Amino acid sequence: MILVTFISVLMIGGIMAWVAASWSNLASRWISLITLLIDFILAISIWMNNASTPWIEKFYAPWIPNFGINFSLALDGLSLLMLLLTFFLGILGVLISWNEIQYRVGFFHFNLLWVLAGISGVFLTMDLFLFYFFWEVMLIPMYFLIGIWGHENKRYAAFKFFIFTQASGLLMLLAILGLYFVHKNNSGVGTFDYFQLLGTQMSLSTSRWLMFGFLAAFIVKLPVVPFHTWLPDAHSQAPTAGSLILAGLLLKTGAYGLIRFVLPLFPEASAEFAPWAMLLGVVGILYGASLSFAQTDLKRLIAYTSVSHMGFVILGVFAFNSLAMQGAVMQMITHGITSGALFAIAGILYERIHTRDINAMGGFWVKAPFMGVTTLIFVLASLGLPVLGNFIAEFLTLIGSWQANQTLTILATTGIVAATAYSLRIMQKVFLGKTLNEKTMTDLSLREKLVFVPLIAAIIWLGLFPQKVLNTTKPMIDKSFKTEQTTLNQKDNGIQ
């Protein structure tokens, strides 16, 4: 039941925030904040009492029984971590928009909470039809967030985002229906239930086609080069909270989908596709890094770093071993925190100097040392410095993928050198060098510190004590590799 609460609290809170705005904007903000806090505390309490079973909670209610569609939710370690991240970043998203959003405040918070509800739904559902439903639920409010509260080129970005996700989502819908019919033909039972669909027998070519349908939606969302071009536009045009949620959470739904659906549903086909997927990951890492290095728009720059970092996720997921998979999951979390923080920095810089052009920035350390230290920490996280969480993620991913494919791992690791170049460039251009624009520059306010201190604490905690997180996903990952052990062996033979 608690799983339904997670989603419904957000949805109800969203409507309340919308209604309350006609009375007071501040009320709307507080309602959103409290809503998210409730969810966050609930999720934390589950995490603290976490047993080491694969499935922690399940919820089941029939929805459209004729077609085998059920309102089926379930929570395992992976979902739990993703939910924690969702609520955590959600809280920060509300806080960071406190001053930034000044018109249609109620509708903004409605959209914000509904995006989060959609994301939570995606992380929780175990019914493919419901999954598609939530996939769309998170898309539309996001479209509004970009299109209404975005920057100068918001319409274009919102459309681009919508069309990319929608088109790829439709392919996934086709694949879901295909899977439904394959299963119905095999067993005579039509169902969208994840657990029943697991292990559906089908020919390799069918499973290949169906897998590509799912893959389409997920790698566009992730994003994987060459399907990434919606991302820089959407990220750079969205309001700060929008960028934070896009980078921190929406991209993770793609990675989550890969881990939850593609690998377990189509084990042979994905094992066959694995070297190509890893190659795509590496291309993403290097291509994103090189583009990031060239950008002058701060938010665009950070957006391309996301492309680069998400490359590690697909690399880790398709390396087919638990080290790399743990690394990929860790990367999802740490990248959520790091890129969220960097977008927040870009947002508060924009509030102060009204530009995103890094050539108009420089030497802000003099005026804003606290902001400088904060940025430094996240820039270092982004280049994978040990002590910070991203290192754990990248190290595990690489050490795992090394077992699978050494050449690609070597290429991926050179991405770390490129990451050093682009990350330090942010620091140099914005905070070091000659002082520009110093009149309007001020250091972080108390509210902004309230945003960044938890982020800093989280990223350092993840870097020094990652075991708690690793333990949470361990049962789920161990289980998935037990079922895939056979395919893994085949693949190993294939490579050698």
Partner 1 sequence: MNLLIIPALPLLGSFILIVVGSRLPKRMIPLVGAGSVGLSALATLILGYRFISASLTSLNVIAWQWMDINGLSPAIAFHLDALSLVFIFVITFVGFLIHVYSAEFMVHDEGYARFFAYLNLFVCSMLTLVLADNLVLMYLGWEGVGLCSYLLIGFWYTEEKNGYAARKAFIVTRVGDILMAFGLFLLFQTFHTLNIQEIAGQATQQWTVGSHTAFVISLLLLGGAVGKSAQLPLQTWLPDAMAGPSPVSALIHAATMVTAGVYLIARMHVVFEFAPEVLMIVGIIGAATLVMAGFAALTQYDLKRVLAYSTISQIGYMFLALGVSAWSAAIFHFMIHAFFKALLFLAAGAVIEALHHEHDMFKMGGLKNKLPVVYWTFLVGAGSLAAFPLITGGFYSKDQILWLSLASEHGNIWFFLMALLGALITSIYTFRMLFLTFFGKENTPVSHVPGSSMNIPLIVLAVLSTVGGFIELPHTFGHLTVFSDFLNPILPSVTVQEDLENFEWLIQLVAALVALSGVGLAYFFYIYKPELSDELKSSAADLHSFWLSGWGFDKLYDRLLVRPFVYLSNINKKDIVDKFYDGLVMIAEWVNRMLSYTQSGILRWYLMGIVIGGIVLMALALL
Instruction: Classify 125 as helix, strand or coil.
Output: strand
396 contributes a contact to partner 1 by CB under 8 A: yes
Choices 41-49, 111-119, 169-177, 432-440 (CB under 8 A): range interacting with partner 1: 432-440
Residues binding partner 1: what is the number (CB under 8 A)?
54
User: Of the two residues 121 and 384, which places its CB atom closer to partner 1 in the complex?
Assistant: 384
291 contributes a contact to partner 1 by CB under 8 A: yes
Dist. CA 395–CA 262, nearest whole Å: 24
User: Of the two residues 208 and 474, which places its CB atom closer to partner 1 in the complex?
Assistant: 474
Q: What is the SS3 string spanning 155-211?
A: HHHHHHHHHHHHHHHHHHHHHHHHHHHHHHHHHCCCCCEHHHHCCCCCCHHHHHHHH
Dist. CA 182–CA 264, nearest whole Å: 16
316 contributes a contact to partner 1 by CB under 8 A: no
Contacts to partner 1 from residues 60-119, by CB under 8 A: none
495 contributes a contact to partner 1 by CB under 8 A: no
| Binding test (CB under 8 A) with partner 1, winner from 55, 59, 293, 350 | 293
Q: Across the chain, which distance is largest between two alpha carbons, in Å? A: 72
User: Of the two residues 13 and 281, which places its CB atom closer to partner 1 in the complex?
Assistant: 281
The H or E element spanning position 63 is strand 55-64
| Binding test (CB under 8 A) with partner 1, winner from 355, 413, 437, 442 | 413
- Which positions from 344 to 373 touch partner 1 by CB under 8 A, shown as an x/- string? -------------------x-xx--x---x
| Binding test (CB under 8 A) with partner 1, winner from 26, 189, 421, 457 | 421
- From residue 35, give the alpha-carbon distance in Å to each of 39, 149, 363: 7, 22, 39
Residue 319: what are its φ and ψ, rounded to 5°? -75, -15
User: Of the two residues 199 and 369, which places its CB atom closer to partner 1 in the complex?
Assistant: 369
416 contributes a contact to partner 1 by CB under 8 A: yes
Give least dist CB 386 to partner 1, A. Answer: 4
485 contributes a contact to partner 1 by CB under 8 A: no
Other Cβ atoms closer than 10 A to 320? 26
| Cβ contact 93:32 at 8 Å | no
Give least dist CB 370 to partner 1, A. Answer: 9
| Binding test (CB under 8 A) with partner 1, winner from 8, 386, 490, 495 | 386
455 contributes a contact to partner 1 by CB under 8 A: no
Give least dist CB 424 to partner 1, A. Answer: 5
210 half-sphere exposure, CB direction, 13 A CA radius: 27
Other Cβ atoms closer than 10 A to 2? 14
410 contributes a contact to partner 1 by CB under 8 A: yes
Instruction: Classify 269 as helix, strand or coil.
Output: helix
Choices 72-80, 213-221, 346-354, 389-397 (CB under 8 A): range interacting with partner 1: 389-397
Is the bond preceding 369 in cis, omega lying within 30 degrees of 0? no
User: Of the two residues 137 and 377, which places its CB atom closer to partner 1 in the complex?
Assistant: 377
Choices 31-39, 125-133, 349-357, 379-387 (CB under 8 A): range interacting with partner 1: 379-387
User: Of the two residues 15 and 376, which places its CB atom closer to partner 1 in the complex?
Assistant: 376
| Binding test (CB under 8 A) with partner 1, winner from 178, 190, 433, 454 | 433
Strand partners, 62: 70
387 contributes a contact to partner 1 by CB under 8 A: yes
- Sorted by sequence, the CB contacts under 8 Å of residue 389 that are 6+ apart come out as 330, 333, 334, 337, 338, 381, 458, 459, 460, 461, 462, 463, 466
322-353 and 369-382 helices, crossing angle to 10°: 150
435 contributes a contact to partner 1 by CB under 8 A: yes
Choices 6-14, 143-151, 192-200, 383-391 (CB under 8 A): range interacting with partner 1: 383-391
Instruction: Classify 292 as helix, strand or coil.
Output: helix
| Cβ contact 325:319 at 8 Å | yes
336 contributes a contact to partner 1 by CB under 8 A: no
Other Cβ atoms closer than 10 A to 103? 9
| Binding test (CB under 8 A) with partner 1, winner from 207, 409, 472, 480 | 409
| Cβ contact 181:198 at 8 Å | no
Dist. CA 302–CA 53, nearest whole Å: 37
Nearest to 362 by CA among 256, 263, 437: 437
User: Of the two residues 19 and 416, which places its CB atom closer to partner 1 in the complex?
Assistant: 416
431 contributes a contact to partner 1 by CB under 8 A: yes
User: Of the two residues 344 and 469, which places its CB atom closer to partner 1 in the complex?
Assistant: 469
Give least dist CB 413 to partner 1, A. Answer: 5
- Sorted by sequence, the CB contacts under 8 Å of residue 188 that are 6+ apart come out as none
| Binding test (CB under 8 A) with partner 1, winner from 232, 284, 316, 340 | 232
Contacts to partner 1 from residues 141-200, by CB under 8 A: 160
Positions in the binding site for partner 1 (CB under 8 A)? 160, 225-226, 228-229, 232, 290-291, 293-295, 321-323, 326, 363, 365-366, 369, 373, 380, 385-387, 391-392, 395-396, 398-399, 402-403, 409-410, 413-414, 416-417, 420-421, 424-425, 428, 431-435, 464-467, 470, 474
